[in-house]
Amino acid sequence: SYVLTQPPSVSVAPGKTARVTCGTDYFGSITVHWYQQRPGQAPVLLVYDDTDRASGISERFSGSNSGNTATLTISGVEAGDEADYYCQVWDASNDVYVFGPGTKVSV
Amino acid sequence: QMQLVQSGTEVKKPGASVKVSCKASGYTLTAYYLHWVRQAPGQGLEWMGWINPNAGGTNYAQKFEGRVTMTRDTSISTAYLELNGLTSDDSAVYFCARLATMGIQPKFDPWGQGTLVTVSS
- Which chain A residue is nearest to residue B112, measuring alpha carbons? A42
CB contact under 8 A, B104 and A49: yes
CB contact under 8 A, A35 and B105: no
**Is the separation of the CB atoms in A81 and A107 below 8 Å?**
yes
Average pLDDT over residues B38-47: 98
**The dihedral sign for the CA sequence A5, A6, A7, A8:** negative
Is A48 near chain B, with CB under 8 Å? yes
DSSP secondary structure code for residue B105 in this structure:
S
Mean pLDDT for chain B overall: 97
- Which chain B residue is nearest to residue A92, measuring alpha carbons? B105
**pLDDT at residue B97, as a whole number:** 98
The DSSP bridge pattern shows strands A9-11 and A61-65 to be unpaired
CB contact under 8 A, B108 and A35: yes
**pLDDT at residue A67, as a whole number:** 83
Please give the average pLDDT of every successive group of 10 residues along chain A, which has 107 residues.
95 98 92 97 98 97 95 98 98 95 98
Helix (H, G, I), strand (E, B), or coil: what is residue A67? coil
pLDDT tens digits for B59-70? 999 999 999 999
Say whether pLDDT at B16 is over 90.
yes
DSSP secondary structure code for residue B53 in this structure:
T
The DSSP bridge pattern shows strands A103-106 and A9-11 to be parallel
**pLDDT at residue B118, as a whole number:** 98
Q: Kindly report the number of other CB atoms within 10 A of residue A80's CB atom.
A: 9
Say whether pLDDT at B103 is over 90.
no
**pLDDT at residue A28, as a whole number:** 86
